[in-house]
Amino acid sequence: MPWDVLIFYLIAAVCVLSAAGVVVARNPVHSAIFLVLCFVNIAATFVMMGAEFLAVVQVIVYTGAILVLVLFVLMLVNPDDLPEFHAARPVQRYVGLLLGAILLLEVGAAIVTRSVSGEQGTATPDNIAAVGGNTQALGRVLYSDYLLAFEVVSLVLLVGVVGAIVLALPERLGERPSVARRGSISLSHPRGVDAALPEGRPAGETLIPTRHSTSPTRASGAVATGNDREVSAGPTPTGVVRDLVMTRDADAFGHMGDKR
Amino acid sequence: MGELGVDHFLFLSAALFIIGMMGVLTRRNLLIIFMCVELMTNAVNLSLVAFGWGLNSLDGQAFAVFIVAVAAAEAAVGLAIIMALSRRQRTVDVDALRSLRD
């Protein structure tokens, strides 16, 4: 038996066993670790098929981004919310095993008995080596034949980011996680503005008028601070602050200057 | 046996897909179901790359790149939904999440 077949069987065995570990592990963290092992082995099979770029993408995106995200969510979800493993559904388990066995038989029969081998493409190993390697060849394909799909994927990622942020926000915008922000530097807070103060000025000195300044309206952008000692940017003379702020970062403090 | 061919990778892909499917069917934890869906996505990727390798074509790898990108977006949205569920319903058990049915 040639070496590459032996190596493939080794990789496939680890892959299938770790995938089974994902399903049967009691602890969700163990499932995630098994999934990392499985994904790395799938990347190894990609290397065996000459898809080096995709193997690296697999490792970076799946094990580096998605699985880390899964672990983050596992830590954020209350452990009391997780269902018990022992309360698994026996009927569903047997039905799942039966369906899996049937589907494996069907797919195996389809793989074994297939006769159409298709038309050979032009991406032979010699041609791929002529353009510099797998990454260069794949880049040529992605930026010529699949250019529109490539741009649409960027749109999909953008919408995904927006959707994730909207879904993960608290239900009411008022209840910000103020506990997590209590120790952070708040640039619009009178005592926390030492980053925005000019050099040499003590941080305790109040530059920004606090709540005793009579102002019925709160600043429109003051939701960013989340604590009750916010700046009330009313009709008080805040010219000093405005000038000082605008020399720093005009975009982040645009809400302070719009109530003149 | 013998030469390493497309069939080897297709069998591995089928095995991974079916293991992922059984995980989706049998587990109750929403996070584990999510991980099994990712596993099934990867099995499909594997078969796409295997067909492209067998036919000397790069289209399979291009498809796999798109699938990876869409899976990343899906992971972000799906995990945000799981977090919102955990915050609102106090559970990630799929048997307990039946407010759409009742």
Residue A86: pLDDT band (50, 70, 90) is: low
pLDDT (tens digit, 9 = 90+) per residue, B39-84?
999 999 999 999 999 888 899 999 999 999 999 999 999 999 988 8
- Which CATH number goes with the domain that contains A75? 1.20.120.1200
Please check whether residues A212 and A249 belong to one and the same domain.
yes
Please check whether residues A15 and A83 belong to one and the same domain.
yes
In a domain, A231, yes or no: no
- With vertex at residue A249, the alpha carbon angle to CA A244 and CA A252, rounded to the nearest 5 degrees, is 110
Range with lowest mean pLDDT among A30-39, A199-208, A251-260: A251-260
pLDDT (tens digit, 9 = 90+) per residue, A39-72?
999 999 999 998 999 999 999 999 999 999 999 8
CA distance B60 to chain A (A): 10
In a domain, A104, yes or no: no
CA distance B101 to chain A (A): 19
State how many domains chain A has.
3
- What ipTM was estimated for this complex? 0.93
Please check whether residues A2 and A83 belong to one and the same domain.
yes
Best interface-test mutation with B: which of A62, A86, A158 has the largest number of B CBs within 10 A? A62
In a domain, A126, yes or no: yes
The answer to whether the Cβ–Cβ distance between B12 and A57 falls below 8 Å is no
Please check whether residues A208 and A158 belong to one and the same domain.
no
Candidates B3, B17, B75; CA nearest to B47 is B17
Structure tokens at A194: 């030492």
pLDDT (tens digit, 9 = 90+) per residue, A68-84?
999 988 888 876 666 66
Please check whether residues A67 and A147 belong to one and the same domain.
no
H helix and E strand count, chain B? 3, 0
Candidates A237, A259, A260, A256; CA nearest to A247 is A256
In a domain, A219, yes or no: yes
Specify whether the backbone of A5 is left (phi greater than 0), alpha (psi in -120 to 50) or beta. alpha
Question: Which residue among A104, A159, A165 sits closest to B14, beta carbon to beta carbon?
Answer: A104
Please check whether residues A4 and A82 belong to one and the same domain.
yes
Quickly tell me which residue has 């269902």 as its tokens: A83
Four-point Cα dihedral A155, A162, A70, B59, nearest 10: 0
* CA distances in angstroms from A152 to A158, A159, B41, B64, B69, listed in the order given: 10, 11, 20, 15, 11
Best interface-test mutation with B: which of A9, A54, A172 has the largest number of B CBs within 10 A? A54
Candidates B57, B61, B59, B33; CA nearest to B45 is B61
- Partners of B95 on chain A (C-beta within 8 Å) are 83, 89
- The range of the structural domain enclosing residue A213 comes to 180-225+239-259
In a domain, A101, yes or no: no
Identify the DSSP state of A192: S
* Surface-to-core class of residue B26, CB atoms within 10 Å of its CB (0-12 exposed, 13-18 middle, 19+ buried): buried
In a domain, A96, yes or no: no
In a domain, A114, yes or no: no
Please check whether residues A163 and A186 belong to one and the same domain.
no
Please check whether residues A41 and A75 belong to one and the same domain.
yes
In a domain, A97, yes or no: no
The answer to whether the Cβ–Cβ distance between B66 and A1 falls below 8 Å is no
- Domains of chain B in start order, with CATH, are 6-101 (1.10.287.3510)
Between chain A and chain B, how many beta carbons pairs sit less than 8 Å apart?
Answer: 257
Q: Are A245 and A196 in contact (CB under 8 A)?
A: yes
